[in-house]
Amino acid sequence: MVKVTVFIAILALDERRRKSKRLDIFCCISYNNAKDPENDEGLLYHMTKRYFSRLLLNSIARPFIIIVFSLIAAFSLASLPKLHIGLEQKLSMPEDSYLIDYFETMASSLEVGAPVYFVVKDGSNYNQRDVQKALCGGAGCNDDSLPSLISDAAQIPSFSTIATPAMNWMDDYFDWVSPNSPCCRVFNANGTFCDSKGKTSHAISVINLFQVPDRENICTQCLSENKRPTGDSFDRFLPMFLGDIPSETCPRGGSAAYSSAINITDEHVGASYFMTYHTPGRTSDDFIKCITNGRYFNYI
């Protein structure tokens, strides 16, 4: 915007100079019509028309001019691979902008990179054992599962820009629903979710209103066997996991970390993502490298 405004102002000043019959280079010197050799076109126009254009059209000088411009073009093409893609963000801001301090502080002090999301598209049946093995990262999972590949990449900083292993909602869900965990419980009366604080639902009648009933007496474990849920069990308890707020008793509640990571519709579990972070990026080359490296893990 500044450049466009200044350019228009310069054009207006030049037009005012021309109408006041002043030279273009030596604008302090005025001339009259009798001394105007080129019908008031200016000294620069006169020199271009009288000398420079004739030099360009000269049959002897023309080959040399073509050779010179060809060499310049060749050197320009040879330097293209060394040019950096992108533009420094500070160059797009006015010098007195407060964002300059922000960009400088980010370049010198930021120790975490941009978040990166690995999205599993809609269509995967999460309640099937083979899909779970491809998306979990614990014992019994595939060696080439998505979380395992991301975790391996985070261990090779010379190859990858992935900084940390991904936040894996599936592993946390399996730990949350496990009978060994104090998290997943359902009310004996109606089978609704009984959170770790032992809050009763409206369907539970409490005889003594001044005494909160013991959670272990009114609730039962979601699973009776220490196995990963499949089929209807997986689909039934997953919304409970995503709605459970972490607490001292159950820190693995998924409401805080994964409430937006999984798209659950009325019919099935849709797309989901696994989030992690890149290494700190400070230049356009760093950002482009992070995007290229993230696309390398286009798994599902």
Tens digits of residue pLDDT in 269-279: 889 999 999 98
pLDDT band at 4 (very low <50, low <70, confident <90, very high): low
Q: Domain extents for the chain?
A: 17-81, 84-167+261-300
Residue 297 pLDDT: 67
Kindly report the pTM of this predicted structure: 0.65
167 three-class SS? strand
Residue 41 pLDDT: 62
pLDDT band at 130 (very low <50, low <70, confident <90, very high): very high
Mean pLDDT of the 224-233 span: 86
Residues linked to residue 118 through DSSP beta bridges, in sequence order: 274
Mean pLDDT of the 228-232 span: 89
Ranges 81-95, 109-123, 243-257: which has the least confidence? 81-95
Rounded Cα gap, residues 11 and 16, in angstroms:
9
Task: Report the share of the chain in percent with pLDDT over 90.
Answer: 16
Q: 116-142 b/e with 16+ CB inside 10 Å = b?
A: bebebeeebebbeeebbebbbbeeebb
Residues in contact with 269: Cβ distance below 8 Å, sequence separation at least 6, in sequence order: 126, 127, 235, 238, 262, 263
Structure confidence by residue, pLDDT tens digits, 283-294: 778 888 888 887
Residue 276 pLDDT: 92
CB 174 within 8 A of CB 138: yes
Residues in contact with 291: Cβ distance below 8 Å, sequence separation at least 6, in sequence order: none
Closest CA relative to residue 283, chosen from 161, 116, 107? 107
Rounded Cα gap, residues 123 and 270, in angstroms:
7
296 three-class SS? coil
Highest mean pLDDT among 77-81, 210-214, 217-221, 295-299: 217-221
CB 200 within 8 A of CB 179: no
